[in-house]
């Protein structure tokens, strides 16, 4: 987190790892924090501050209220903290099934040298599994952090 300026986090939902501690630390280090906003079947990112007005989306998850002009594209983030259901040692992840992160970050599939932003999964250690069969549209993680360890993937 030393050089990144824009960190995308999320509000925990249905047993996901809570990002509030990370959000607070990012603010203390003068980083900009963004939260996902569902827009046309994929994600855009709205800056989140302690006093940001929020509204719940169709899944009951709070999102910052802002104009479309204030939303940033996924490619404008430095680090993206992603929720997940499971992950493996190759960086494959299973999300909640709607495909928002895979669709939103599909451009990473075509980048050979500059893999930006970095996708970091947040999970409980028990969510780590031996092997996940990846589909052609799946976008792998660059790393994962659990309550026990951290993992980097090639």
Q: What is the pLDDT of residue 2?
A: 63
1, pLDDT greater than 60: no
In a domain, 60, yes or no: yes
Q: What is the pLDDT of residue 53?
A: 97
Structure tokens at 133: 């069969």
In a domain, 66, yes or no: yes
Q: Please give the Cα distance from 52 to 32 (Å, whole number).
A: 13
Q: What is the arithmetic mean of pLDDT over 37-52?
A: 95
Mean pLDDT of the chain: 93
Domain around 38? 6-152
In a domain, 11, yes or no: yes
Q: Please give the Cα distance from 22 to 88 (Å, whole number).
A: 23
Q: Please give the Cα distance from 99 to 139 (Å, whole number).
A: 10
107, pLDDT greater than 70: yes
Q: What is the pLDDT of residue 96?
A: 85
In a domain, 1, yes or no: no
Q: What is the pLDDT of residue 3?
A: 78
Per-residue pLDDT tens digits for 50-95: 999 999 999 999 999 999 999 999 999 999 999 999 999 999 999 9
Q: Please give the Cα distance from 124 to 102 (Å, whole number).
A: 21
Domain count, the chain: 1
In a domain, 87, yes or no: yes
Percentage of the residues of the chain whose pLDDT score is greater than 90:
83
Q: What is the arithmetic mean of pLDDT over 130-140?
A: 93
In whole angstroms, what separates CA 140 from the centre of its chain? 12
pTM: 0.93
Which CATH number covers residue 18? 3.40.50.10420
């Amino acid at each position: 987190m030393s050089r990144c300026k824009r960190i995308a986090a999320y509000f925990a939902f249905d047993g996901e790892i809570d990002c509030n501690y990370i959000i607070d630390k990012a603010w203390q280090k003068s980083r900009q924090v963004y939260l996902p906003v569902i827009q046309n079947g994929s994600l855009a990112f709205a800056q989140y501050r302690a006093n940001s007005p929020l509204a719940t989306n169709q899944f009951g998850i709070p999102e910052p209220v802002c104009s479309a002009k204030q939303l940033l594209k996924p490619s404008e983030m430095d680090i993206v903290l992603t929720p997940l259901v499971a992950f493996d040692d190759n960086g494959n992840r299973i999300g909640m099934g709607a495909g928002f992160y895979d669709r939103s970050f599909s451009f990473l599939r075509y980048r050979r040298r500059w893999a930006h932003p970095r996708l970091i999964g947040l999970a409980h250690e028990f969510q780590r599994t031996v092997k996940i069969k990846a589909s052609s549209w799946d976008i792998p993680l660059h790393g994962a952090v659990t309550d026990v360890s951290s993992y980097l993937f090639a």
